[in-house]
Structure 1
Amino acid sequence: MNLGLTGRRALITGGSKGIGFATAKVFAAEGADLCLVARDAVGLADAADSLRTLSTTSVSTLTADLSQASERERVWEAFPDVDILVNNAGSIPFGSIDQVDDQAWQQGWDLKVHGYVDLTRRYLGTMRARQQGVIVNVIGASGERLLDSYAAGSTGNTALMAFTRIAGSKSPSFGVRVVGVNPGLVASERVDHLAAGDEAGDQAPTPGFRIPFGRLATPEEIAASVVFLSSDLSSYTSGTILTVDGGVTYQSDSALGASPN
């Protein structure tokens, strides 16, 4: 499907794996040039090499820890003129209110909540000057289905949902769209670690918990939604958050457990 993205430039944070890498692949297939940011230099280089074998579009990379304000400024200075920003980098610890200590809570929010807010504000300014641009915040369905077992994540995601709606309600006045995507459980390394109980303090979903369609979502399914919302085919969409969780959010009898997004 031609989404009209050829020649546009997309910045994707957390772009070396999972939803971020899958999103980069879909953008590349649509002819968009890529700017990828991640903390893992080796993983980022591998992702870029893989993308270059799949497409002739430009792939630029920058290793950065987006939990740090100075690093977010460095990203903005390196890639000031992107057409699309996808905020995707985030890892908030799993656990109830009494399980997540102050340091872990702060570190999770510094990366995802403050990281998204800061980069959105920075790029809103540059996009406003051009009267054009799209920002997509990949948030998480736990912001809708509030979970004691994912207290820091649910609270942070709810804040990001409100922020996205506020920003997206105003941005059309200067030609910019801000939207969000709320994934449910997605097949990824993080979910594998949770299921194995590898993260300290985590209470992973128990084996046999019920999930829609009998499987987890794939990163590619979330990526398709992100890229479509970034395109002109969704040009009248702003301040909207698309939930992609197979309907779990509204299943009152679900035994799903928490989304780690």
Structure 2
Amino acid sequence: MNLDLSRRCALITGGSAGLGFATAIEFARQGATVVLIARDALRLDGAVNQIRQMTQATVEGHSADVTDSAAIQRIVHDVSSRHGGVDILVNNAGGSSRGRIETLSDEAWQADFDLKLFSAIRLCRLVLPHMRSQRWGRIINVVNTLAKTPGAGTAPTSVTRAAGVAFTKVLANEVAQDNVLVNAICVGRIESEQWAGFHRKSGSTLSLQDYLAEEGKAIPLGRLGRADEFSSLMCLLASEAGGYITGTAINIDGGLSPAV
């Protein structure tokens, strides 16, 4: 299977920690030049240095808020001028924001759409001219399973992520003729730093590992997913091996979601 990403430049938002960081490591191992965007400059520097030490790849970081359109435009222009353009885009910014509809303000809705949807749309607009001109590109939008199966109290995240899936399908159909592939990954329960936060907020008296084990019991596979399982799927979609996959939203959730 050809997972080689040599001579490809990959831009990953939310890449300094969690699943974005795991993806960056795997892309770097496969030979890609990796560009990370994240808000926390200190954590970003640490992530860049760690990936360099692990892989000897070309890795750089840019500290920015993805909702700042001017800053993102500057970064893409800078990266394109030095690396020839962005070949692989991973839109991975944004955490989980949940509440009851009656309690969510206009500002809360707007902030979630700005972070998770509009930032992805803007980045796609910026990188698409290069991808289309070279007739090769990969765009992967990281969402979650709530995009397909929303429940009570899951807004605004579930609504924003559902819009992200629709955007993925529309864009995939618009650029397929130029060999630009666009897919979404619907993430379920996968071990990451975010779960440590869930553990703290839960007030559970269990240790983190016991807490994760309990959470895993609800999953058909009986456990939470691993970050390397996520990054392997990302690498497939970014590579030549995934060259006939576009316009789809793939669950990586151990079978938990009732939606296919």
Contact kept, 8 Å, 2:100 with 2:154, in 1: the verdict is yes
SS at match of 2:15: coil
Contact kept, 8 Å, 2:2 with 2:239, in 1: the verdict is no
- Please give the residue correspondences for 1:50-129 in structure 2 after superposition, counting only pairs within 5 Å: 50-80=50-80, 81-129=85-133
Report the Cα offset of residue 14 of structure 1: 0.6
Report the Cα offset of residue 236 of structure 1: 1.1
Q: TM-score, normalised by structure 1?
A: 0.87
Counterpart position of 1:218? 226
Report the Cα offset of residue 56 of structure 1: 1.8
Contact kept, 8 Å, 1:2 with 1:30, in 2: the verdict is no
Q: What do you get for the CA RMSD once the two structures are aligned?
A: 2.2
Report the Cα offset of residue 206 of structure 1: 11
Counterpart position of 2:18? 18
Counterpart position of 1:159? 163
Contact kept, 8 Å, 2:145 with 2:186, in 1: the verdict is yes
- Please give the residue correspondences for 1:198-213 in structure 2 after superposition, counting only pairs within 5 Å: 208=214, 210-213=218-221
Counterpart position of 2:141? 137
Counterpart position of 1:257? none
Cα distance in 2 for residues equivalent to 1:59 and 1:177: 24
Q: TM-score, normalised by structure 2?
A: 0.88
Contact kept, 8 Å, 1:134 with 1:177, in 2: the verdict is yes
Matched, 1:192 2:196: yes
1:115-158 CA distances to partner (integer Å, 9 max, x unpaired)? 11111122122211222211111111110111222111110111
Contact kept, 8 Å, 1:92 with 1:105, in 2: the verdict is no
Cα distance in 2 for residues equivalent to 1:147 and 1:105: 17
Cα distance in 2 for residues equivalent to 1:2 and 1:44: 30
Higher helix share: 2
Report the Cα offset of residue 207 of structure 1: 9.8
Cα distance in 2 for residues equivalent to 1:92 and 1:183: 12
Counterpart position of 1:227? 235
1:79-112 CA distances to partner (integer Å, 9 max, x unpaired)? 2302111111112412221233332222222111
Contact kept, 8 Å, 1:68 with 1:111, in 2: the verdict is no
Report the Cα offset of residue 31 of structure 1: 1.2
Matched, 1:168 2:168: no
Contact kept, 8 Å, 1:86 with 1:138, in 2: the verdict is yes
Contact kept, 8 Å, 2:224 with 2:254, in 1: the verdict is no
Report the Cα offset of residue 74 of structure 1: 2.1
Cα distance in 1 for residues equivalent to 2:96 and 2:113: 7
Which letter maps to 2:149?
Answer: R
Which letter maps to 1:134?
Answer: R
Counterpart position of 2:208? none
Structure 1 unaligned blocks of 5 or more: 199-204, 252-261
Structure 2 unaligned blocks of 5 or more: 203-210
Contact kept, 8 Å, 1:22 with 1:219, in 2: the verdict is yes
Which letter maps to 2:34?
Answer: L
Report the Cα offset of residue 230 of structure 1: 0.6
Counterpart position of 1:28? 28
Contact kept, 8 Å, 2:181 with 2:246, in 1: the verdict is yes
Comparing 143-152 with 156-165, which one deviates more in the overlay?
A: 143-152
Pair 84,109 (structure 1): closer, same or farther in 2 beyond 3 Å:
same
Cα distance in 2 for residues equivalent to 1:44 and 1:14: 9
Cα distance in 1 for residues equivalent to 2:91 and 2:128: 13
Report the Cα offset of residue 2 of structure 1: 4.8
Task: Give aligned-pair identity as a percent.
Answer: 35
